[in-house]
Structure formats: structure tokens, C-alpha cells
Structure 1
Amino acid sequence: MELEVRHLRALCAIADTGSLHKAARQLGVSQPSLTTQLRRIENSLGAELFSRERSGCRPTPLGRAVLSRARPLVAEMAALVVEARAAAGRAGGPRLRIGSTASRALAGWLRRLRQRLPGTDISLHVDVSANALLRMVAAGQLDVAFVHEVEGCPLQVPDGLSVRVLVEREPQFISMARDHPAAATPVVELADLAEDRWIVDPTVDGEWDGLRRVLGAAGLNPRVLHGDYHTAASLIAVGEAVAPCQPTSGPRDDMAIRPLRGDPLAVRLLLFSLPGAYELYEAVYADLEGAYREAASRAATYRHWLLRNNSPLLPAPVTCVP
């Protein structure tokens, strides 16, 4: 078996994330497929490149040696692709490449940008990993990235990126079954959820560490399930789990969304870009801010929270770019 660039890229992803599961999500492949690929690479070299531990995958001495040669090759290939795409973009007209973690503001943001920048090819790349999106901006694969940073879990920001803070501290609410006893109150005490199972997606950067920190500080050690939030919704609706959620989350007939007393869970909302094109990025930020205000005003529970906390987010009029 001859090693190809895709094999080297897979090795780098496993080393960077420390997990086959996270690496598979980053690469857009299934975990069994990536596991099989790694096994074939190791078989062709005649030795293990990673030691599998309970805490994740760690490079062996041979793995570190291979990675030291692989990383420059992968970086060079990525640079070649970026330069080729940039040349093609210049030939094909203006474009704007957006990256984002999941957000209710995305639809409104894209609508505003298309109104502001007619004739511009606007693309969207959504990823659960904020760190992966930041690496794509640094590599020139994205122009901007809208991400959230879990409180107490700083992002790994590459050198040279510019950042604008959209929201300094966005509270994370709790989603639960509509008939959950805690749903009868407008604000939920964390202790009232001590007997519940909590579900969290460990592939979202900082999500599990942030939740574990808050639960530990409250003296709680509830049962925790790991899974993606699409699966979580079905479990929450039938009362099998509760989960943190964005305050802009929309209402559902089978689910209640409530703030936590004291807002112990929070994130920062950030927009990253490469330096330059100041006027464009200011416009991109302005449209994102308008879209976020719109999403906040639509979510009744969040709107009430903003009013109670005298937030400057809500009073501003919601307008679209003409």
C-alpha cells in the first residue's frame, strides 16, 4: 500500500483531535471507515502509529516521526489547493466563503448578505468543531468563521486571525420534556436536574469540559450520555435526558426550554477572519449582528431573559439591508 495525501491528512486529523471519532467527523467520514484506513496504514508500515487509550489516541514514537514528515506535505497540498481555488475565484467573480458552528442566526445572516452582495458567490460550511473552522480560515479555505467559545475552554486560535465579539456572554438554556417537573417554573435550579440524564455532544469543542466544570462546581455528578444533538432531541422529548441548548432555539410542542438560575453555562460568540478587506468584514459583521438580534427576538424565552437583564441586544430595531 502506497501512502497518499488523504492518508497523511487522516493521520494528522487523528493526532490533532486525539480521537478517531472526532477525526472522522472532521474529515467527513464514518468512524469505522477511518479505523479501517488507519489499520491498513499501520499494516503497510508494519507498526502502530497510535496507541489506543481510554482518553483517546496518542502518537507512538514512530507515529510522531511519520507526523513530522506528513504535516509539511499536507500543509503544502492545502496551500496548493487554496491558491488554485483563489485563482479560479478571481476568474469566476467575487465570492465569500463562510464557516459556522450551528446557529439559529445563519438563515437570516445569509439572507442579508445576499441582499447586500448581489452577484457574489456565497458558500456556507457548517462544522461542530470551532477549532476546525478556525484552522480553515488560517489556511485560506474560509473567509470568515462564526463560532462559539465555551466559557472556561478557550479556543485554539491560529496566529494572525482577526476577531470581533458578537456576544460577550450568551447564556446556555436547558431543553427538557414538556412535562418535566422543572418545566413548570420560568427559571430552573441546576439542583432540580441532578437526577436527570444529561446528553452532550463530545465532538463540540469545549462542550463536555464546560458542562463537567459547571456540574462539578455545583456538587453534582449526574449520569451523562454522549451523542449528537439530533439524537438528543428525540431522547429529550420523551423524558430520557436533558441537555444544554442555545437560547435562540425555537419552540417545540414536545419540549420546554428554560434558563438556569444564575446562568452558570455560557459561551462567547465570535467572528474570525483574516486581516484585510476591512469594509467587507465590517459589513459581514453588521449583517450577522442584525440576524442574531432577529433570532433572539423570535425566541420568547430568550427575549424575556434579555428584557430581565436589560440587555442592549434586544431594543435595537431589526432591519434588513435594502
Structure 2
Amino acid sequence: MRHLRVLCAIADAGSLHQAARRLGMAQPSLSTQLRRIEHALGGPLFTRDRTGCRPTPLGHAVLSRARPLVAELAALVTETRAAAARASGGVHLRIGATASRAIPGWLRRLRARGPGTEPTLQMDVSANALLRMVAAGRLDMAFVHEVEGSPLRVPPGLRLRVLVEREPQFVTLAVDHPAAARHEIPLADLAGERWMVDSTVDGEWDALCRVLREAGLEPELLHGDYLTAYSLAATGEVVTVSQPTAHPRSDLAMRPLRGDPIGVRLLLAARTEDELDFGYDELEEAYWDAARQAPAYRDWLERRGIPCAPHPLATTADARA
């Protein structure tokens, strides 16, 4: 079954590099494991080139049998854990999330609901991967970001609740950058800068390319994780996109872009309404607590007359796939 999960992860990710990250493995180890699986099954399961991995005809045949088995086992594990939790009087929540400053406060509030409530956390840069994990029963709920212009691929049957309909994305740059003196920065002021963005985050690379193209700019774009991007931004090497709730740093300035050209929708996903109800209020409180602690975002909200409290940017309607 572990081998079947590996094959499904590679097919879903489209590359060994991405699959290894999602499985928490080193890429060479995953490559070795794939070769062993292919040897055992008698042929190549994926074609590999610079664009990624694609299933061969044999791979498609194996995956068509593997996916139902993996889903059935995940459902069995989910049902068994739920039954055990009910028997012990506890609630064990398996939570997934893309990066957010709201997560520590969310977990803390969930634990405060009662001595039997114990959430576990699965982080992933891919919102689509987390949604698939919820649909397969491997997670109970997931807090994800949907980048404007790049709709998420929501599996059938999931329930979605919108936390923030459109959160603006800020730009992060060195604190001594000339543009940092502005409350809002026009993209034109950054025309000569190099941008760094994590292309493994669903939709972010495409969104930045689109916004820069619409502004008539063609700067150099570099791929890198956001920890590296922040370090380079602090020395003036690059500028980068950041969530408005990002923790302030003395060597960085986080500023809104004029006109808020990049937006993100924040969603909580689960399989049932009861699961959404269980986790939503605590997430909402944690998000707005994080917003209050981010000076640039707090200022952005105040200038628009939006209070830093639950509900101002949230919608209560559920979206069903």
C-alpha cells in the first residue's frame, strides 16, 4: 500500500521533486523507490523529462487500480480513528494548511475547546494537494489559499467556507529601499527590481507574471522559497510577495501594492458541514488576531474602514463543489 501511495503522489504532483516534498522524502530516495516499484511491476510507470513525470500506459493502468485502494484504506483509517475518538471521549482533528500566521492561534484555540481535543497539522505549499487529502479522508479539514486567476481544483463532495473573499498580497523589500517610504507602492517604482517567488505554491508564479505583464513590466523573476526570498530582500537583492499578516521584521518593509493587483481567497475545506462548523470560528478569530499584530495590514484595513475583528471580509455562505 505504501508503494501505491507513492505512485499516486507522483502522478498528482507531476514531478518527482514535488512528490518528494509532499511525502517528506529526499528526491533521490523517491527515485530509487520508484525504480524498485517499476522493476517489480515489469515496466516503466512514468516518462520523465524536464517538464516533469507523466504516466505511461502501464502507469495509467496501475493508477486506475491503485487510487480506489488508497482511498478505501484512507476511509477505513478515518472511520477507525473517529470511532476510537468517540470511545475515548476525545476529538482528534487532522488539519492541513498552506502557510499562514493564523495557524498557531488556530491550533491553540482548538485545543482550548476541551481536554480531549487534539489537532495535528500537515503543512503543504500546494492547496490542491491538501484538498485531495481532505477528499481522500487523510485530513479532516484544510485551510487553503486560492490565488486570484488560478482557481483551485476542488474534488467533488467537499464543502468550502470562505474566511476572506479577497485578501490583498503585499510586497516585501529592504527597509532602506526608497519605495519603502510610501504607504502604498506603485508597481512602476519596482520596475528595475528582481522578484523572487515560490513557483511551487499553486498559482503564485502565474499571478505575479500576469500582474507584471498588465503593468507593462518585464523584470527578472527568480524561483525560491519564501524564507530565502525574505533573506535576500533584506539585503536588497530581490523584492517578493508576502501575505499581509506576515510577522514584521526590523530589516524588512511590507507594503501594499497600489490598487491591490494581487488577491487571494482564504478558504476552509472539509467533507461535512459539521466539520466546517467545528473548526471555522477558531480559525476566524486566529486570523483577525494575526491581522491586528501586522502593522501594515492593520493600517491598510483602517484606511478602508474595515475593523480588525471577525466577519469584516468573511462570507458565511458555503461553496459546494
Q: TM-score, normalised by structure 2?
A: 0.89
Is 2:125 the partner of 1:128?
yes
The superposition leaves residues 149-202 of structure 1 with CA deviations (integer Å, 9 ceiling, x where unpaired) of 000111111111221111100000011112222212221111222322211112
The partner residue of 1:299 within 290, 294, 298 is: 294
Is 2:298 the partner of 1:268?
no
Q: Offset of 1:223 from its aligned partner?
A: 1.7
Q: Offset of 1:138 from its aligned partner?
A: 1.6
In structure 1, the residue matched to 2:177 is 180
In structure 1, the residue matched to 2:235 is 238
Aligned residues: 311
Is 2:284 the partner of 1:289?
yes
Is 2:26 the partner of 1:26?
no
1:138-153 to structure 2, matched below 5 A, reads: 138-153=135-150
2:269/2:276 contact within 8 Å kept: no
Q: Offset of 1:44 from its aligned partner?
A: 4.3
Alpha-carbon separation, structure 2, partners of 1:102 and 1:115: 22
Cα distance, 1:45–1:281 mapped onto 2, change above 3 Å:
closer
Moved more, 56-65 or 294-303: 56-65
The partner residue of 1:228 within 216, 222, 225 is: 225
In structure 2, the residue matched to 1:57 is 53
In structure 2, the residue matched to 1:247 is 244
In structure 2, the residue matched to 1:320 is none
Stretches of structure 2 that go unaligned for 5 or more consecutive residues are 313-321
Cα distance, 1:108–1:19 mapped onto 2, change above 3 Å:
same
What's the secondary structure of 1:116's corresponding residue?
A: coil
Q: Offset of 1:246 from its aligned partner?
A: 0.5
**AA paired with 2:83?**
A
**AA paired with 2:288?**
R
What's the secondary structure of 1:304's corresponding residue?
A: helix
What's the secondary structure of 2:66's corresponding residue?
A: helix
Q: Offset of 1:141 from its aligned partner?
A: 2.5
Moved more, 39-48 or 100-109: 39-48
What's the secondary structure of 1:310's corresponding residue?
A: coil
Q: Offset of 1:293 from its aligned partner?
A: 1.3
In structure 2, the residue matched to 1:71 is 67
Cα distance, 1:226–1:310 mapped onto 2, change above 3 Å:
same
Alpha-carbon separation, structure 2, partners of 1:113 and 1:102: 18
Q: TM-score, normalised by structure 1?
A: 0.89
CA RMSD of aligned residues (A): 2.2
Alpha-carbon separation, structure 1, partners of 2:42 and 2:221: 38
What percentage of aligned pairs have identical amino acids? 67
Is 2:158 the partner of 1:161?
yes
1:144/1:271 contact within 8 Å kept: yes
